[in-house]
Structure 1
Amino acid sequence: MPARAGELDLLLDRLVEKNVIDPGEAQEIRIGTQEEVKKEISQQRHATLPMWLQTMKLRGDVRLRYQFNDNHNKALTQHRGRFRLRFFADAKVNEKVYMGFGFASGSSADPRSTNQTFGDNYGKKSLWIDYVFAEYNANDNLAFTAGRTKNPLWLTSDLLWDSDVNMEGLSARVSLPVNYNWDIFGNAGFMVLSESSSDPKDPYLLFAQPGVIWHDNDGVYDMKAGAAVYAFNNIEHSPELAHRPSTTDGYQKSNTLVGGQYKYSYDAISPEIELNANILDPVSVPLVTSLLGYNLTYVGAFGNYIKSLDHGRASEGWLAGFRLGQRKVEDAGQWQLRYSYRRLEADAWLDNYPDSDFYGGAVNAQGHEVLLTLGLLRSFALDLDYYQTRPIAGGLKKEKLFQADINLKF
């Protein structure tokens, strides 16, 4: 067992006093011992520190945003400065159990937003518990998670689920290699939607999502596909759930209600697919390559479809899009351009969960999104995001939304 730092320093000082070693040699021993301890901690084999302390990771990000809204349902356009702060911690408790928690900013408990808007005459801002979970890994292929967790589903877009929505309940995931080129995976879960001591029929969600992964032998092409089946329980004939779109901000609540209760259950099936190609011989893009220094090294396409299973009225939705540039933007000069078009009908899905930036998170909406990401430095990027959206039906008008984000990760 390594000597503790204080004991080692005392021993070295005594050896120097007795001229057994000189001060330079003592310093070399101190540095060598410190490096060995660091190595033991990084390899999770330190004899005295608990595993959770050796494996703990602290992470976070900061987003600074300028946002312009031109919602034609409101008399004035809107310019806003906004920010987001998130801080995460996770660690292995032992060889089988993993845990984590995170905090995030936000102006309310709305699960679809972690934004805070500049204003309120410099009033202090709130910090919320974003997620907290424990995960049991039965083996390399099977894991179970409980708590408030990041969305356990594999998703190609935010057509159905805003990226800020964290679920509360139990989930399981499985991954099985078939051969060198193919893998299969699956996600399943039980998620609590609401709870009331005066109502025995609390609403909850069950889901299952089988899928496959394929890649070629040369590292050029790969594909991932899955199909989620959603079963919402105790939704039909129940009161509306919290956090629907804001009508005061010029948006719409389009799910069909009868007497203040949902008419449908919103059970649905939703397949999605992602196709990717890595360009081994990078392609020069006029102007872009000369300005940023990176050629085109990646192209991809993705799509998502949803169909309600319990009714046929305004019951479908879809999204299709592409990406090109670099597969991930992680360093200076890297870039990615993403475009998508989506259409989500009024009763295809509950309007509590879609992307809150796309027509206020409403259903009964369609339109375009263009996102350009530019790497400024390592872990430091600029996002330019533009939405042009409008209702599918009804009397409301279109909206144009532009966001310029500075993103920093630490």
Structure 2
Amino acid sequence: LGLAYYDYRNISGIRNPSLNDVQFNGTATNIRQKGNTLFNIDNDGNPNTNLYALAADYQLVNLTGMVDVNVFNPVHLMLGGDYVKNVGFSRSKTLERTGMDIDPQTAGYMARVAVGMPTMLLKNDWQVSIAYRYLEADAVLDAFSDSDFHLGGTNSKGFILGAQYGLGKNTWLSARWLSSNEIRGLPLSTDVFQFYFNAKF
């Protein structure tokens, strides 16, 4: 069981206050994937040029837990869970920055069930797993979220199916299918299949 708190400082944008002012251009985010609420801080009078920055603040509380039960040696049942909440989101501050009253989308969770061997050490070791993931738009910084699920970012939900099989000592195959959809906004579905050959020395 683990509990963590992440306090991000000076990452939200500041709109340039006057025409052709560029003093706050540096508050625009230059590392992002997709999902977080953004707003245009550009103020050059040209509607065709935009400079986007984060509209929300991020202070995350993250609870993680796992239970591993040796059901029938060497087969294990592993139950895992992860919950995150962005307690730093301020509806009033976001309204002030963007001019829009944005409904908070600040929570995320993942639940996972796995059956098999906890690690792939020997020939014929195996494990199968299924997980469900739900991550709202401003629950975490989209720049640091898993780049495989939904091809990165937040505002996504879906399943992850996995399987592993041991070919020999410390050598195994693994495969994952990740299927996701947008939670809000325009529909976007993403399916990713991954296949790996793994070896440890």
Same fold per TM (> 0.5)? yes
The answer for the alignment partner of 1:301 in structure 2 is 79
Give the secondary structure class of the aligned counterpart of 2:151: helix
Residue 266 in structure 1 maps to residue 55 in structure 2? no
1:276 aligns with 2:68: yes
2:143 match: secondary structure = coil
The one-letter code sitting in structure 2 at the alignment partner of 1:362 is G
CA contact (8 A) 1:241 1:352 kept: no
Contact 2:151–2:190 (8 Å) recurs in 1: no
For the pair 1:318 / 2:109, whether they are aligned, the reply is yes
CA RMSD after TM alignment: 1.4
1:238-290 Cα distance to aligned partner (Å, 9 max, x none): 32142x22xxxxxxx221112222111211101111111113x44xxxxxxxx
For structure 2, the residue ranges without an aligned partner over 5 or more in a row are 14-26, 41-51, 92-103
Cα deviation for residue 310 of structure 1 reads 1.9
1:353 aligned to 2:144?
yes
Match of 1:240 among 12, 15, 29: 29
Within the alignment, does 1:338 sit opposite 2:119 as a pair? no
Within 2, Cα distance between the matches of 1:308 and 1:268?
Answer: 4
Indicate whether 1:256 and 2:48 are aligned: no
Query: Which of 182, 190, 193 lines up with 1:399 in the alignment?
Result: 190
Q: Secondary structure at the match of 2:130?
A: strand
Counterpart Cα distance in 2 of 1:273 and 1:305: 9
- Using the TM superposition, give the Cα deviation of residue 397 of structure 1 relative to its aligned residue in structure 2, in angstroms: 2.2
Distance (whole Å) between structure 1 residues aligned to residue 30 and residue 69 of structure 2: 41
Q: Which amino acid aligns with 1:304?
A: D
Q: CA deviation at 1:333?
A: 0.2
**Under a length normalisation based on structure 1, what TM-score does the superposition of the two structures give?**
0.39
Q: For the residues of structure 1 that align with 2:70 and 2:189, how far apart are their CA atoms?
A: 37
Runs in 1 of length 4+ with deviation above 4 angstroms? none
Corresponding residue number in structure 2 for 1:409: 200
Q: Displacement, 1:342?
A: 0.5
Determine the C-alpha separation between the residues in 1 that align with 2:126 and 2:112: 17
CA distance in structure 1 between the partners assigned to 2:143 and 2:53 by the alignment: 15
What does residue 133 of structure 1 align with?
none
SS in 2 for 1:352: helix
The TM-score with structure 2 as length reference comes to: 0.77
Structure ID, larger Rg = 1
Q: Is the 8 A contact 2:120 2:171 kept in 1?
A: no
Deviations 1:121-156 (A, max 9, x none): xxxxxxxxxxxxxxxxxxxxxxxxxxxxxxxxxxxx
Percent identical: 28
Q: Which residue of 2 aligns with 1:189?
A: none
Q: Which structure 1 segments of 5+ residues have no match?
A: 1-224, 246-252, 283-295
Partner of 2:7 in structure 1? 231
Q: Distance in 2 between matches of 1:257 and 1:334?
A: 46
- Higher relative CO (CA 8 A, sep ≥ 6), structure 1 or 2? 2
- Pairwise mapping of residues 100-179 of structure 1 onto structure 2 (< 5 A)? none
Aligned residues: 164
